[in-house]
């Protein structure tokens, strides 16, 4: 069934997500602060709209995919007076749990509804419609949102509003730490005289197998650090993980170490892919380097 959707934020992820929604038969109005990015979707069947109030006014579902919580808050505040009664806002951005809970309260006070539904899978997953979507909200609202979310990936309700962001932070906690562990394995193999590529091939399929070993392990071997997920984005996520841990009253010592590594890396290659954790590790080990390929930083 076709749904009238307004999609806010046409960036690296937003563009392919809108295309998946259009391919599924939904009607999509596209808005972006830089209007040219929304206008580029006209050929795919979207209706670009430069005015935020007009963009959201006739939408039953609003999807936001913006850079961070403060931007979501700014856009939500500006759009709120123009939202249709009983509109459902699905925020697919990565924000803090407390921010998502505040968005929920703000919309509920005005008779509107909210789901936080951050994603994992990157640009490739967005283009293929295979994103992992972690949703927080009521069961009733999720049931309504699920057919829309299904166009972009596999959605799972993990709890009340804010829980989607917690699940995303758990995902990023594992991603950030595992990238660093894979980098250490690569450098250890190289320094100890083994072939890092052969080491990676040997352990694949065993208990160490992971998407990180598959994708980022290959990136490290190729020294391809052109950004998919940026160091700065991973660092933002690391800080959000620690904020959630503090709010929950727990200590995450390994996450604190990983955060420190990305803070150091952000001072030299902030726009590189987060697999550039290997570069930071090599800086701690002068004279050691995985492979002979030149660095690709974009």
Name the E strands within 128-249: 131-136, 153-159
Alpha-carbon distance values, 19 to 65, 128, 150, 196, 215 (Å): 14, 10, 13, 39, 24
Q: CA-based angle 9:67:106, to the nearest 5?
A: 80
Name the E strands within 117-257: 119-120, 131-136, 153-159
From the list 193, 187, 212, 207, the residue with the least C-alpha distance to 278 is 187
- Token pair recorded at residue 278: 């290997």
**Cβ atoms 294, 249 nearer than 8 A:** no
**Cβ atoms 227, 272 nearer than 8 A:** yes
Of 168, 211, 230, 236, which residue is the catalytic one? 168
Q: Do β-strands 131-136 and 119-120 pair in parallel, antiparallel, or remain unpaired?
A: antiparallel
Reply yes or no on whether 37 is catalytic. Answer: no
Active site residue ranges: 168
């Amino acid at each position: 069934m076709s749904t009238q959707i307004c999609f806010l934020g046409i960036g690296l992820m937003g563009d392919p997500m809108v295309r998946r929604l259009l391919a599924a038969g939904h009607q999509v109005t596209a808005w972006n602060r830089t209007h040219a990015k929304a206008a580029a979707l006209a050929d795919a069947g979207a209706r670009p709209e430069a005015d935020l109030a007009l963009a959201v006014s006739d939408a039953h579902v609003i999807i936001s995919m913006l850079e961070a919580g403060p931007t979501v808050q700014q856009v939500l505040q500006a759009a709120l007076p123009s939202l249709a009664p009983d509109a459902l806002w699905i925020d697919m951005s990565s924000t803090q749990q407390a921010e998502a809970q505040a968005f929920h309260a703000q919309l509920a006070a005005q008779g509107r509804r909210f789901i936080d539904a951050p994603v994992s899978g990157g640009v490739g997953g967005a283009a293929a419609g295979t994103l992992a979507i972690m949703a927080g909200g009521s069961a009733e609202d999720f049931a309504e949102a699920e057919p829309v979310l299904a166009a972009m990936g596999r959605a799972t309700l993990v709890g009340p509003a804010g829980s989607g962001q917690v699940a995303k932070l758990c995902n990023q906690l594992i991603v950030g730490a595992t990238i660093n562990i894979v980098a250490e394995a690569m450098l250890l193999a190289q320094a100890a005289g083994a072939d890092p590529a052969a080491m990676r091939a040997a352990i694949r399929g065993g208990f160490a197998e992971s998407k990180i070993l598959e994708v980022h392990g290959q990136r490290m071997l190729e020294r391809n650090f052109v950004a998919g997920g940026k160091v700065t984005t991973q660092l933002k996520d690391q800080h959000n993980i620690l904020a959630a841990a503090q709010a929950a009253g727990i200590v995450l010592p390994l996450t604190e170490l990983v955060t420190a590594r990305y803070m150091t890396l952000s001072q030299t290659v902030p726009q590189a892919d987060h697999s550039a954790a290997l570069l930071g590790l090599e800086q701690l080990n002068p004279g050691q380097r995985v492979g002979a390929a030149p660095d690709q930083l974009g």
